[in-house]
Every structure is written in structure tokens, then in C-alpha cells.
């Protein structure tokens, strides 16, 4: 038996979905434990390309069970759409996907508040995905949330809405100067979602503990990336998931103890990207940045919003930090093939502010915004890696770059991805 958490080590979109899809082969259960449909995980297989926002990436392997844990915020309309879409493309979901009755439900006011908050922040906007996920987690913490168990029962839902609708309408109308919601319509709509989701709802805590007792392999699918974490990320340009998408959040988000987790796999791109606003020391606003965005298959555009991703060189200061705060025991590197095009490759190994050299990330947002990266330049290889399946067959300079990253992370590399498709990977050592 092993329980492995897969987390993003940068600002999200590291290729977690692609890695989970690969690792799911040896798992019995694949579970999402945090965040909501702000996540967008891409999987490419025989059926084509899929972008999953709520359904775990194990869904394409028909003998696996997928769980959406108590730590996730679920937009029921989006989840139903995702299920329908998967089924329309030949993926069996019913009987394999289970949604925690303790998961929180994203309500219409969350999306409205997300958009209005961004508008009010003006130049300081976070650049959220606009899905309402931040306000939904804020309501969870503020004890004004509705959970899956509540929408399953019309009377319980009506009782909660009796308080919540006037409260939220006061906020929407008086604070945000926008229209409130129609309480009756919300009741009908969400009670209907409750009915339609009923076949998927379960006490996922019972399911996961049964799996642990049976000695099953469990894969816990992180969302976002450690640098977007509310506590340890580049605050306030972070996401609001509670529990956190860090590895430690997996225990709470699935209702297991931290002692159950055996392995933490950190997924890192061979360079950095970020969507949304906020500090990004190695960002390249030049032709090199464009080459990182557009070069290779699957250019860098957000899986959820389609926004162009900001691109820059690998940041070893940030990567080392996220390896530590997640306790990663091994790493997976993705998108090595994108670097095939460069004559030389840079990696940031320290920050500088004036005459001061920093070897760790400063807490202050102002400092983070003004740090200058100190680069090490490494030779490129300028040959195709997409077809390589053994480390020793990589060009020497690619081996050197990969080893450089391994050393900076301070943990062994388990996997190198050289393309977006399932088999385009180099296995380095066993995970878990």
C-alpha cells in the first residue's frame, strides 16, 4: 500500500494532470483534495485531449475509483457538465466517481463577488480565474457555506437560504451596488443539482479509510502550485484554498491523518510560468519568453481561462523553498522538450536586492516584486528529446540540466516528461 500526494511546485500548471494520469495505472484510488474549478488539468490519451477542472485525472483508467474530497469546493453546474462531457466522449463516470457530502458548494454569489472584488481592486487585481472559488472558501471559513449534504435535502437548503440569501443580497446590493439573487430560483436550481448529483454523493472518508485498510494504493491530486498557497505563497497574489493545496492539505482535504502519507511527489516545469498577477522574478517579457510560451507542442495558455501564461527561466530559489515546505520526497520534471530550441538555458540560483544577495524568498510582496534574479547559464542541446525514453539517451547537455535541477531541489528525480502524451516520459526511479 502507498499513499502518494502529487503537488505543483511552482505557480500551477506544472503538468500535474499529465503526471497523475501516468501514475494512476498503479493506483486504486485517485482523489482531489483541495481547490475547485479554478484548476485545469490537461490529459491527452487515445480519446483525445481533456481539460479536467473537478474530476480527478484517474478517471481515464476504467478500473480506478475517483474521489472528490471534503476539501474541494464544487460548482455543481460545472461538475455535472464535466461528467456529461466525459460520458459523451466514452468515459464511464457513474459508479466510479464519488463526491464528498462534506465538500462545499459554490453558490451564484461567489462568482459575482469574485468578479466585483477584482474590479474594485483595480490595478491591484489578483487576476483570479473568476470562478468564484476564493469567495466560496472565504464563506467556508466565515461559516456561511453550504455543503453537498445540504443541497441533497431541499428543506435543509431552504432553511440555510432563508438566512444566506438576504445576507448575500445585502452585500451585493449595498456594498457592490449590483443586483442580488432571487432566493426561490436559487433554491430550485440548487435542489435540482442536489438531485442530479445524488448518485455520486458519498461519505468519501469511509471510502478512503476502507481503501487504506485494504492496502490499496492511493494517489492524492494536488491543484495549483505551492507558490499560490495562502500561507506560504506570494501573498496576496495567491489562491484561497482551505485546506491548502500543499501536501499537508491533502490529509485534511481527504480526512486522513498525516501519518498515512508515504510519498510526496513535486511536479516542476523545467522553466516557470504564471497566470494571473503577482511577483515573478524570472519572468521574461521578451522574445525568449515568447519562445517558452509558443515553442513545442501545447503552447502555454491557461487550461481554465485561456489566458497566455507569463513565462520565465527556472527559479531554483523558489523551487527549493517549495520542495521544503511540501516535504517532497521525489520530483517529476515536465516540458523538457520545450527547452530543445535554446542554445543556452538560464536558471535563477539567488535573488539580489541592491547589494544584498538573498538565498530564500522574502515575505514582503514589495521585496518579491523588486528582486533581481542571479542566473547560472547552462549549455542547451538543440536536438529533439520528445522521443527519448531512457535518461542515458538524452543529449549530454540535457542530462546536465536535469541533474542541475535535481541538485537544486535536493531530492531525487523520479520522472522526466518530454511531451504531453502518456508515454512521452523517462522513468528514473520508483515513486512511493
Residue 127: contacted member of ligand IMO, ligand GDP, Mg ion, none (CB under 5 to 8 Å, by partner type): ligand IMO
User: Which residues on adjacent β-strands are paired with residue 265?
Assistant: 6, 330
Catalytic residue among 21, 28, 41, 393: 41
Residue 18: contacted member of ligand IMO, ligand GDP, Mg ion, none (CB under 5 to 8 Å, by partner type): ligand GDP
The single residue among 9, 15, 40, 135 that binds Mg ion, judged by CB under 5 A, is 40
* 13 catalytic residue (yes or no): yes
Of residues 293 through 332, those in contact with Mg ion by CB under 5 A are: 303
Which stretch in 37-45, 87-95, 291-299, 364-372 sits in contact with ligand IMO by CB under 6 A?
37-45
Backbone angles phi, psi at 293, to 5 degrees: -70, -45
Of residues 6 through 25, those in contact with ligand IMO by CB under 6 A are: 8, 12-13
Compare residues 100 and 128 and give the one whose CB is closer to ligand IMO: 128
Which stretch in 39-47, 140-148, 338-346, 348-356 sits in contact with ligand IMO by CB under 6 A?
39-47
Compare residues 18 and 64 and give the one whose CB is closer to Mg ion: 18
Catalytic residue among 13, 114, 229, 337: 13
Q: Which triple of cell numbers denotes residue 270?
A: 523545467
The single residue among 44, 112, 228, 248 that binds ligand IMO, judged by CB under 6 A, is 228
Which stretch in 68-76, 84-92, 127-135, 280-288 sits in contact with ligand IMO by CB under 6 A?
127-135
Q: Report the interface residues with ligand GDP, using CB under 6 A.
A: 8, 12-18, 40-42, 44, 296-298, 303, 334-335, 337-338, 417-420
Residue 334: contacted member of Mg ion, ligand GDP, ligand IMO, none (CB under 5 to 8 Å, by partner type): ligand GDP
* 179 catalytic residue (yes or no): no
Residues with catalytic function: 13, 41
Amino acid at each position: 500500500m502507498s499513499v502518494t500526494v502529487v503537488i505543483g511546485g511552482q505557480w500551477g500548471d506544472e503538468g500535474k494532470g499529465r503526471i497523475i494520469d501516468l501514475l494512476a495505472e498503479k493506483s486504486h484510488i485517485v482523489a482531489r483534495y483541495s481547490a475547485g474549478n479554478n484548476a485545469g488539468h490537461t490529459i491527452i490519451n487515445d480519446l483525445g485531449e481533456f481539460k479536467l477542472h473537478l474530476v480527478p485525472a484517474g478517471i481515464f483508467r476504467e478500473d480506478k475509483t475517483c474521489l472528490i474530497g471534503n476539501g474541494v469546493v464544487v460548482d455543481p453546474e460545472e461538475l455535472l457538465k464535466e461528467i456529461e462531457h466525459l460520458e459523451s466522449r466514452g468515459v464511464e463516470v457513474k459508479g466510479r466517481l464519488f463526491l464528498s457530502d462534506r465538500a462545499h458548494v459554490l453558490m451564484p454569489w461567489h462568482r459575482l463577488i469574485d468578479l466585483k472584488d477584482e474590479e474594485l481592486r483595480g490595478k491591484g487585481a489578483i487576476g483570479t480565474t473568476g470562478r468564484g472559488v476564493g469567495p466560496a472558501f472565504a464563506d467556508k471559513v466565515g461559516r456561511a457555506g453550504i455543503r453537498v449534504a445540504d443541497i441533497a435535502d431541499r428543506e435543509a437548503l431552504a432553511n440555510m437560504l432563508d438566512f444566506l440569501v438576504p445576507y448575500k443580497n445585502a452585500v451585493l446590493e449595498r456594498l457592490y451596488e449590483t443586483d442580488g439573487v432571487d432566493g426561490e430560483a436559487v433554491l430550485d436550481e440548487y435542489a435540482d443539482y442536489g438531485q442530479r448529483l445524488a448518485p455520486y454523493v458519498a461519505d468519501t472518508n469511509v471510502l478512503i479509510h476502507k481503501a487504506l485498510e485494504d492496502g490499496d494504493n492511493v494517489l492524492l491530486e494536488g491543484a495549483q502550485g505551492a507558490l499560490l498557497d495562502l500561507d506560504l505563497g506570494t501573498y496576496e497574489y495567491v489562491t484561497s484554498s482551505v485546506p491548502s493545496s500543499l501536501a499537508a492539505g491533502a490529509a485534511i482535504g481527504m480526512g486522513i491523518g498525516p501519518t498515512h502519507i508515504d510519498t510526496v511527489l513535486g511536479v516542476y516545469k523545467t522553466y516557470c510560468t504564471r497566470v494571473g498577477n503577482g511577483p515573478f522574478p524570472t519572468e521574461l517579457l521578451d522574445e525568449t519568453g515568447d519562445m517558452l510560451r509558443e515553442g513545442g507542442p501545447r503552447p502555454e495558455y491557461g487550461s481554465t481561462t485561456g489566458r497566455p501564461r507569463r513565462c520565465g527561466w527556472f527559479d531554483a530559489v523558489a523551487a527549493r523553498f517549495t520542495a521544503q515546505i511540501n516535504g517532497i520526497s521525489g520530483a517529476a520534471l515536465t516540458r523538457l522538450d520545450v527547452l530543445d530550441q535554446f542554445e543556452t538555458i538560464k536558471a535563477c540560483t539567488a535573488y539580489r536586492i541592491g547589494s544584498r544577495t538573498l538565498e530564500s524568498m522574502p515575505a514582503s510582496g514589495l521585496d518579491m516584486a523588486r528582486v533581481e534574479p542571479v542566473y547560472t547559464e547552462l549549455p542547451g542541446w538543440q536536438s529533439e528529446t520528445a522521443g527519448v525514453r531512457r535518461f542515458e539517451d538524452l543529449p549530454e547537455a540535457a542530462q546536465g540540466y536535469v541533474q542541475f535541477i535535481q541538485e537544486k531541489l535536493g531530492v531525487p528525480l523520479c520522472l522526466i516528461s518530454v511531451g504531453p502524451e502518456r508515454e512521452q516520459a523517462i522513468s528514473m526511479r520508483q515513486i512511493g
